[in-house]
Chains A and B, each alone.
Chain A
Amino acid sequence: MTIRHHPSDETLLRYAAGRLAPAPGRVVATHLHGCPACRERVRVFEAVGGAVLDGMSPVPVVPHALARALAAIDAGPAGRATSLEGSSTPAHGAARTAPPLLPDGIVLPAPLRDCAMGPWRWAGFGVRASALTLPEDPKASLLLLRVAPGRRLPEHGHSGLEFTQILSGSFSDAFGRYQPGDLTEMGAEVEHQPVVDPDGPCICLTALEGGVLFTGSIGRLIQPFLRL
């Protein structure tokens, strides 16, 4: 799987800084899961964060902060973690029963497995949609979309950044062709008209930044799925 479309450096920096909202953050996390190059970029930006932290002019902490910390360590039930308890990685509730299947036998990507998947509903224009509920932000709008082969979505814009990660199938717009593993980031100023390639349906994960609206007729069909 050759990944051709990646998040912008700005998006990866914001992800590394912990500044991306939960829904766009999950779209980026899904991309990172399959993209070693972007994982390395995130590590670079985390190192930038380390350098920024190191470069801060110290602000005095309260006088007994260290004594309090040492007391908390002495009293702490956990002490130092010595087992694998709290080990970092299988963060997204990995150890579950079989992961939920999406249409066409696609497995929900690992970074989404702790999300509740809503029912698949017809939205028109050959689109079915399912809303994912994020445990960390139940009001966030994160959508799975399945678009039938060959369908042309109405041209649309959005009032914030749109992040879309392709899970299966492919689509094209004036800016390129997007295949599984690719992430597209569409700026607010950009209007685009995605067309799903004819050889199969396209399933993608999409989030809009902020409580923003799709413009154009697609707005009416997608809006009911967004918790705005």
Chain B
Amino acid sequence: MLDDAAIPAGAELDRLILAIAATGDRQAFAHLFKHFAPRLKAFLLKSGMPPGAAEEIAQETMLAVWRKASYFDPERAGASTWIFTICRNLRIDHLRRDRGVFVSDEAIPEEADESPDGEQLFMAAEREAEVRRALQGLSAEQAAVVRLSFFNDKAHSEIASELGLPLGTVKSRVRLALNRLRTLLDEQK
């Protein structure tokens, strides 16, 4: 059942979280864990976290997925996006604790999502499909620039050293990559 080779599709991942919410399905959790925990760890390592901390935040993220499963709404965000935002918040929380500032988990904004009723929300599945198509439309370098923005605080200078480019060049490449992404997204509308 827990075959690493079988990568579940987005809708399947959504269904696993819904199964946890509905019945506390541990088998569903195990599937999710197999898929996400190693990717969360990779993501956090790439973000510059030491291995121990990356392991810990990946674990905390998965536990939060279990606890908060009933808040998962596939019409607002797909499984990967939802889990990404949980991990993002826990990482920020972890860095604050390291600096001696304690802010409880619940005090961290989940996201600035205060959409009043009636706000025209794009369906999450549609948004995610569009985003993935648009990312595939970027050149390899543009995709790398966008990806690296998720891993580096001092986005420009670190992207510059990683790609071996002058700082000024990186600034304009980040802008160009994001303009291209926006164009690709707009074209799908």
Please determine whether chains A and B interact with each other in the same assembly. Answer: yes
Binding site for B on A (CB under 8 A): 9-10, 13-15, 17-19, 29, 32-33, 36, 39-40, 42-44, 46-62, 65-66, 68-70, 72-73, 76, 78-82, 85-89, 91-93, 110-111, 114, 135-138
| A57 CA / B21 CA spacing, docked (Å) | 28
Contact present for A66 and B42 (CB under 8 Å):
no
B137 sits at the interface (CB 8 A): no
Q: A51 with B131: in contact, given A56-B39, A66-B34 (CB under 8 Å)?
A: yes
Q: Which chain B residues in 52-79 approach chain A with CB under 8 Å? A: 55, 58-59, 62-63, 66-71, 77-79
Contact present for B103 and A46 (CB under 8 Å):
no
A-B contact pairs, 29 of them (CB 8 A): A10-B149, A15-B112, A19-B150, A19-B155, A39-B112, A39-B115, A44-B185, A47-B81, A47-B124, A47-B128, A48-B131, A48-B150, A50-B82, A50-B83, A51-B80, A51-B128, A53-B39, A54-B39, A54-B80, A56-B42, A72-B63, A80-B69, A81-B71, A87-B71, A92-B109, A111-B112, A135-B103, A136-B108, A138-B101
Contact present for A53 and B127 (CB under 8 Å):
no
Contact present for A49 and B127 (CB under 8 Å):
no
Closest 4 CB pairs of A and B: A50-B81, A58-B38, A88-B110, A50-B80
Select which of B101, B119, B135 is within 8 A of A51 by beta carbon: B135
Contact present for A10 and B109 (CB under 8 Å):
no
Q: A136 with B37: in contact, given A29-B109, A66-B30, A79-B67 (CB under 8 Å)?
A: no
| A50 CA / B43 CA spacing, docked (Å) | 11
Select which of B21, B43, B128 is within 8 A of A53 by beta carbon: B43
| A86 CA / B107 CA spacing, docked (Å) | 9
- 9 further A-B contacts with Cβ under 8 Å, apart from A36-B115, A80-B69, are A19-B149, A46-B77, A51-B131, A59-B41, A61-B58, A69-B59, A69-B63, A80-B20, A114-B107
Residue of A at shortest CB range from B89?
Answer: A18
Query: How many residues of B sit at the interface, in one of the four size bands?
Result: 35 or more
Contact present for A78 and B62 (CB under 8 Å):
no
What chain A residues lie within 8 Å of B124 (beta carbons)? 47
Residue of A at shortest CB range from B36?
Answer: A53
Contact present for A80 and B70 (CB under 8 Å):
yes
B187 to chain A, nearest CB (A): 14
Contact present for B127 and A60 (CB under 8 Å):
no
Contact present for B26 and A19 (CB under 8 Å):
no
What chain A residues lie within 8 Å of B26 (beta carbons)? 70, 73
Q: A137 with B38: in contact, given A49-B88, A50-B78, A91-B107 (CB under 8 Å)?
A: no
Select which of B66, B96, B111, B155 is within 8 A of A88 by beta carbon: B111
